[in-house]
Amino acid sequence: MGAQWKAKGKELAANAKGRLFGRLAKDIMIAARNGADPAGNSKLRLVLEQARKVSMPKDTLERAIKKGAGLTGEAVNFEHVMYEGFAPHRVAVMVECLTDNVNRTAPEMRVLFRKGQLGTSGSVSWDFDHVGMIEAEPTAAGADAEVAAIEAGAQDFEAAEEGATLFLTDPTDLDLVSRALPAHGFTVLTAKLGYKPKNPIDPASLSAEQLEEVEAFLAAIDGNDDVQNVYVGLAG
């Protein structure tokens, strides 16, 4: 789990595919407000790279760019909202939403947090670091993550899923490090700003039943259409 919770299991992953495309479309629209050309819009370039990695349909991708850049005549009015609180058993949670209707999202979050505890702004964010997160995989045998992190300017790194490495950066260095990593033997899979827990709870300290309750809570949160990312104070 660690910095960002991801649904586990083939069935959950399959069910999440449509939501993933929907979330990426929102990210593309937001980024495209600053220009439809990725060559001059680093934020858009990074999101497009992520969308292509997960095989997002080209027409969906292009439509999101045009809509965000105002080329279709449709208004894009998404608001970025963070919800903070606790999952069951006092596991800290930060929920990042992009919504076109806060009056819909807010009560939905209150309902979803009933099995945990919805906090006020700042109630758990103090226990998270705001960082750049770059997931990358080695392109050649012998690529050294530690050397790559130092040379590319990352602050730290840790193992990610399926042999990938998560490089952590200062928020302002996200694009710079993303551009530098390929020269040091790593292909960037995703790059975004996110939140890393300072004092994560060891899942081993929870019983199997308690961990299932936390997982069920997180799955319900993640299933909401307005949710973009879920950051959780669990290690591993």
Write out pLDDT tens, residues 108-126: 999 999 999 999 999 999 9
Domain spanning 10-68: which superfamily? Answer: Integrase, N-terminal zinc-binding domain (1.10.10.200)
pLDDT at 86 over 60: yes
| In CATH, 79-126+199-232 is 3.30.70.980 | yes
Neighbour count for residue 124 (Cβ, 10 Å):
21
Dump strand ranges (E) for the chain: 79-87, 91-99, 117-118, 128-138, 156-159, 165-169, 186-197, 227-232
pLDDT at 226 over 90: yes
pLDDT in tens, 136-191: 999 977 889 999 999 999 999 998 888 889 999 999 999 899 999 999 999 988 88
Nearest CA to 80 out of 221, 233, 227 is that of 227
Nearest CA to 36 out of 16, 15, 63 is that of 63
Q: What does R_g of the chain's alpha carbons equal in angstroms? A: 18
Distance CA 226, CA 143 (A): 38
Give pLDDT, residue 15.
55
pLDDT-based confidence at residue 5 (cuts at 50, 70, 90): low
Average pLDDT of every residue of the chain: 89
| Dihedral sign from CA coordinates of 26, 31, 37, 43 | negative
Distance CA 38, CA 45 (A): 5
pLDDT in tens, 44-60: 988 898 898 888 999 99
Task: Report the CATH fold assignment for 128-197.
Answer: Alpha-Beta Plaits (3.30.70)
Same fold, 10-68 and 79-126+199-232: no
Query: Of the given ranges (34-38, 99-103, 148-152, 158-162), which has the lowest mean pLDDT?
Result: 158-162
Looking at beta carbons, which pairs linking 69-74 to residues 24 or more positions away fall under 8 Å?
A: 69/32, 69/33, 69/35, 69/36, 70/33, 71/36
pLDDT-based confidence at residue 89 (cuts at 50, 70, 90): very high
pLDDT at 9 over 60: no
Listed by start position, the domains of the chain span 10-68, 79-126+199-232, 128-197
Dump strand ranges (E) for 34-121: 79-87, 91-99, 117-118
Query: Of the given ranges (58-62, 72-76, 91-95), which has the lowest mean pLDDT?
Result: 72-76
Reduced to 3 states (helix: H, G, I; strand: E, B; else coil), residue 233 is: coil
